[in-house]
Structure 1
Amino acid sequence: MEIFSIFLSWLLTTALVLFMFCMFLHPLRSNRSSITAPKLPPNPPNLPIIGNLHKLIGKPRHQALWQLSKEYGPVMLFYIGSKPYLIISSPAMAKQVLKTQDHVFCSRPLSKAVKRLTYNYMDIAFSPHSDHQREMRKILVSEFLGPKRARWFNHVLVTEIETMVRALGSHPPNVAVNLNKLFLALVKGVVCKVAFGNNYRQQPNKGPSWEVVVDEGLEMLGGSLGDSFPWVGPFIDQVSGSTSMLETCFTNLDTYIESIIDDHKNQIAEVIDDEKDFVYTLLELSSEDNTSGHRLTKEDIKALILDVLTGGVDTTVVTLEWAMSEIARNVRVKQKLQTEIRNNTGRKPKIDVLDITKLTYLKMAVKETLRLHAPAPLMIPHECMSHCQIGGYDVLPGTTALINAWGIGRDPSIWGENAAEFYPERFEKFEVDFEMVPFGGGRRSCPAMNTAPATVEFVLANLLYWFDWEVPDGVKNEDLNMQEEGTLVLRKKVPLCLVPTNYNWDD
């Protein structure tokens, strides 16, 4: 009994001491918790397993996220499965991600499709931040987009546009032209000839067409649902068919890219310096005696060709189509543009690239197109590499940032009550910082952000100089179908068809 009493006393004493210790420790834990607990951005209520995925059902992603941002703010946390996404929907917050914290957000999230299609993250646009990625970007800018190739690029562009104008000039009267096909042929011709030479393959020798191969590649590079569900992702991709589609897509792209490289290897000894295209330059940089200090592997070359194929054509084509669609819908803008182009250029055999420098209203119209129709509505995702703050909220490493370029460009609080209207005059006094971000910003901005608008301006100037354009089938200009489709690249759902009429200078 005495032993039991001693044990009971000891037990009570121990319990009392533990209780006192816990009471003392509790405020310390609370204070520590209040200091270290992250202040996360607001987010819609999650559902088990799927997170906020149900919020995207039935709507384009950029539009659904824009509507949610009106409720939860310009910095919003959004979950797909267990994967966190930081949704940015204002210029101020975009500036913090792309400029202030650019060193934190300059990487890309990992993705099974990106890894496969970019030869294990060897490309520029989609691969995570690394010394290799920076070196590849330098090569693309200096050898493909820089002054070294600008003269040849302009020559090819002028030649292709002259061919397009001649074809339109002999087109049957009162018959509509599919401008999507026209623009694709034009831009593909320019980009591929500069990158791959005059004898580039029009279509792959076997398998799907060039257009299908590139479109499938872009769709795959947008990622899969399995990327957001780490534990069951492979099963989801297998059941949905995503895995087999990815392998087919890779095979088709790789076969086409391999054929381009083989053609150049077979002819490299016969080519003089003035005729060397981008691929010949890359092959030289892969040789043992190159002087650049960086020797390219075959996978490096393939990844750079992939960047040209997926980034150099589609975005320019969709911008041209959206621009002509908006111009066709707005007769006032069309007439003002044609007056400026024809008055400043005068009657001459062809428009010169230098003529474009005088066309201020045309430049404003192209800016307005990019504001309303950013080619990549959510841009390519950025990934947070270390803990930081955006808009006063904590952002944790591994969070993927999506910048809603489409929403920012249409925000009435920035652009006024006519934000949804195509009104180029708004740029007469508006100085743009991050109020529109069609080319992104910072280290991962689009390398062609200077050359692409100039190409669009030159093509539009020629179309509006030589021809008058009407909407076919008695449709009112303002009723032209402007529905969107696409995720990574935003296209017109219904291709633009317009009726061209040769302009009569004698009237």
Structure 2
Amino acid sequence: MEIFTIFPQWLLTSTLIFIMFFMFLYTFKSNKSSISAPKLPPNPPKLPIIGNLHKLVGKPRHQVLWQLSKQYGPIMQFKMGSKSFIVISSPKMAKQIMKTQDHIFCSRPYSKSTERLTYNYLDIAFSPQSNHRREMRKILVSEFLGPKRASRINHVLGTEVDTMVRALALHPPNGAVNLRDLFLATVKAVVCKVAFGDNYRQQPINGPSWEVVVDEAQEMLGGSVGDFFPWVGRFIDRISGSSRKLDRCFNNLDAYIETVINDHKNQTGSEVSDVDDKDFVHSLLELSCKDATSGYQLTKEDIKSLIMDVLTGGVDTTVVTLEWTMSEIARNVRVMQKLQTEIRNRTKTKQKLDATDVAKMTYLKMVVKETLRLHPPAPLLIPHECISQCQVGGYDVYPGTSALINAWGIGRDPTVWGENAGEFYPERFEKFEVDFEMVPFGAGRRSCPAMNTAPATVEFLIANLVCWFDWEVPNGVKNEDLNMEDVGTLILRKKLPLCLVPRKFNWED
């Protein structure tokens, strides 16, 4: 009892509280130290607010990230404003993202421009993972890319390629042909006639040309700076003019798609009674009148988003691949001669090539595959977003982190492809079995729906060009000196259009 007479009650109480508080702090600190800190991937030094964005200004993203990966490893953390990314630069890490943990990285990051252009994420390529997206993908594959449409595609492709070959045969001697324009006209005609019918509207009634509308849409789908700064992003996009450009782009694209749909609605039933005459839009309109297999009924916005995917993903990626393929063939005379020998030996007794002939040309397939290795149309693919905490390569990755897969860098990795990784050498595929060593079309749930049909289209076009013509680089430039600079972010194009001189092959020689 003496202690209570020496020390007042309030002082004793305060002392006990003070001791308990420090005991709590000690216990909390001990428990915190016992929990291991998150193991994050290595990252380049970043600046406040902008993170690592300064490293990408004015430089090709895929090349910058590839060089940084050599220093920081095949999985690297990269900060763009407030958004966290992991950059994947090896087949092993790519396999973890697109196969082993595909169920975790199957979503897409948010972007204001993609939300607007995809009619509030109703499309296939950019929308987050959902039952709706799965149903839309099934419809695209079944009604546009599958066996149901195969005969129609082969017929249209054969007709357009014949037209292209005849036009080249009538081209003035020694005159160079802009192959980019030629490929665009041919592929556009094939895709649009299959999707929209033989009488597809080639140009919008008002506003910019079809080509400008699609190019602007692809540029906007790459996102804006404002996406990386959520609190002030809207202000940044407004003062930079990005918001106005997005509005204009969407209005132009939507007006064209609306016209296509209205044209089909105005056609009589007798005009499309034959199943083979029905195009993709006719099929979509029919599906909008009845429930799909999952019970989901297509809305007008669903139809528009699917048409948008066809326009932005079905033409330009194929044109880019064709141009890079012909560029590499023209630049490598040895490859051109070997390829011509294979194709012409199968064509000696025929007046034209057909799809069954091309399907048997093994060296042609190697040439196209080698082009896709060196020149994937989308160098960084479309980002994958993590939806739950996981580990990749032994590092912790948290929800909301986006994975950038550097397909361009993976396809040029000398540890995978050898010292000649930067060389165009199709013969490497004679013995090389590809898994995730090259991923031009992605893989898993978010793989490109046209990953099987697109290469076949490229092979057929290239086979006809190389079979019926010899090709020369104009203006006395040596073949090996052909300019091969690239440009672009979402889609990687050849900086200068490919212009070559066609020489009609003389079969009697």
TM-score, structure 1 normalization? 0.97
1:243 aligns with 243
Separation of aligned partners in 1, 2:268 and 2:363: 45
* Equivalence map 1:47-58=2 (5 Å): 47-58=47-58
TM-fit CA distance, 1:17: 4.3
1:445 aligns with 447
Deviates further, 321-330 or 12-21: 12-21
CA RMSD of aligned residues (A): 1.6
**In the alignment, structure 1 residue 187 sits paired with structure 2 residue 190:** no
Gaps of at least 5 residues in structure 2 are none
Pair 489,290 (structure 1): closer, same or farther in 2 beyond 3 Å:
closer
TM-fit CA distance, 1:22: 3.3
Deviation per residue, 1:130-189 (Å, 9 max, x gap): 100000000000010000000110000000000000000000000000000000000000
Separation of aligned partners in 2, 1:438 and 1:475: 31
Task: Determine what percentage of the aligned residue pairs are the same residue.
Answer: 74
Separation of aligned partners in 1, 2:428 and 2:447: 24
TM-fit CA distance, 1:111: 1.1
**In the alignment, structure 1 residue 272 sits paired with structure 2 residue 267:** no
Separation of aligned partners in 1, 2:47 and 2:498: 41
Separation of aligned partners in 1, 2:487 and 2:438: 20
Query: In structure 1, what residue type is equivalent to 2:131?
Result: D
Deviation per residue, 1:66-99 (Å, 9 max, x gap): 1111111111110001100111000000000000
1:479 aligns with 481
Give SS of 2:103's match.
Answer: helix
2:81 aligns with 81
Separation of aligned partners in 2, 1:8 and 1:351: 100
Question: Would you say the 8 A contact 1:344–1:358 is kept in 2?
Answer: no
* Equivalence map 1:153-164=2 (5 Å): 153-164=153-164
1:19 aligns with 22
* Equivalence map 1:1-400=2 (5 Å): 7-8=10-11, 10-32=13-35, 34=36, 37-270=37-270, 271-273=272-274, 274-288=276-290, 293-400=295-402
Give SS of 1:105's match.
Answer: coil
Separation of aligned partners in 2, 1:216 and 1:343: 43
Query: In structure 2, what residue type is equivalent to 1:58?
Result: G
TM-fit CA distance, 1:354: 0.8
Separation of aligned partners in 1, 2:158 and 2:305: 28
Question: Would you say the 8 A contact 1:53–1:81 is kept in 2?
Answer: yes
Deviation per residue, 1:423-474 (Å, 9 max, x gap): 0000000000000000000011000000000010000000000000000001
Deviates further, 407-416 or 105-114: 105-114
Separation of aligned partners in 2, 1:10 and 1:303: 69
Query: In structure 2, what residue type is equivalent to 1:165?
Result: V
1:498 corresponds to which of 491, 497, 500: 500
TM-fit CA distance, 1:18: 3.4
Give SS of 2:44's match.
Answer: coil
Query: In structure 2, what residue type is equivalent to 1:294?
Result: Y
Separation of aligned partners in 1, 2:353 and 2:108: 41
2:463 corresponds to which of 455, 461, 464: 461
Query: In structure 2, what residue type is equivalent to 1:391?
Result: G
TM-fit CA distance, 1:369: 0.2
TM-fit CA distance, 1:412: 0.5
Separation of aligned partners in 2, 1:131 and 1:17: 53
Question: Would you say the 8 A contact 2:99–2:444 is kept in 1?
Answer: yes
Question: Would you say the 8 A contact 1:268–1:280 is kept in 2?
Answer: no
Question: Would you say the 8 A contact 1:192–1:200 is kept in 2?
Answer: yes
Pair 118,25 (structure 1): closer, same or farther in 2 beyond 3 Å:
closer
TM-fit CA distance, 1:292: 7.6
Question: Would you say the 8 A contact 1:109–1:381 is kept in 2?
Answer: yes
Query: In structure 2, what residue type is equivalent to 1:154?
Result: N
Q: How many aligned residue pairs are there?
A: 504
Give SS of 1:303's match.
Answer: helix
Give SS of 1:345's match.
Answer: coil
Give SS of 1:355's match.
Answer: helix
TM-fit CA distance, 1:371: 0.1
Pair 359,289 (structure 1): closer, same or farther in 2 beyond 3 Å:
closer
TM-fit CA distance, 1:57: 1.7
Separation of aligned partners in 2, 1:116 and 1:7: 65
Query: In structure 1, what residue type is equivalent to 2:461?
Result: V
Query: In structure 2, what residue type is equivalent to 1:185?
Result: A
Give SS of 2:391's match.
Answer: strand
Separation of aligned partners in 1, 2:282 and 2:373: 37
TM-fit CA distance, 1:290: 7.4
Question: Would you say the 8 A contact 1:356–1:461 is kept in 2?
Answer: yes
Query: In structure 1, what residue type is equivalent to 2:114?
Result: V
Pair 24,165 (structure 1): closer, same or farther in 2 beyond 3 Å:
closer
Question: Would you say the 8 A contact 1:285–1:294 is kept in 2?
Answer: no
Question: Would you say the 8 A contact 2:368–2:455 is kept in 1?
Answer: yes
Separation of aligned partners in 1, 2:291 and 2:374: 48
Deviates further, 9-18 or 471-480: 9-18
* Equivalence map 1:420-435=2 (5 Å): 420-435=422-437
TM-fit CA distance, 1:38: 2.0
Separation of aligned partners in 2, 1:149 and 1:10: 84
Question: Would you say the 8 A contact 1:85–1:400 is kept in 2?
Answer: yes
Pair 420,399 (structure 1): closer, same or farther in 2 beyond 3 Å:
same
Question: Would you say the 8 A contact 2:135–2:294 is kept in 1?
Answer: no
Query: In structure 2, what residue type is equivalent to 1:31?
Result: S
Pair 506,287 (structure 1): closer, same or farther in 2 beyond 3 Å:
same
Deviates further, 281-290 or 125-134: 281-290
TM-fit CA distance, 1:29: 2.4
Question: Would you say the 8 A contact 2:115–2:121 is kept in 1?
Answer: yes
Query: In structure 2, what residue type is equivalent to 1:255?
Result: A
Question: Would you say the 8 A contact 2:323–2:498 is kept in 1?
Answer: yes
Question: Would you say the 8 A contact 1:105–1:382 is kept in 2?
Answer: yes
Deviation per residue, 1:17-44 (Å, 9 max, x gap): 4334433443222113x2xx32111111
Query: In structure 1, what residue type is equivalent to 2:243?
Result: T
Deviation per residue, 1:369-419 (Å, 9 max, x gap): 000000000001111011111101111001111100000000000000100
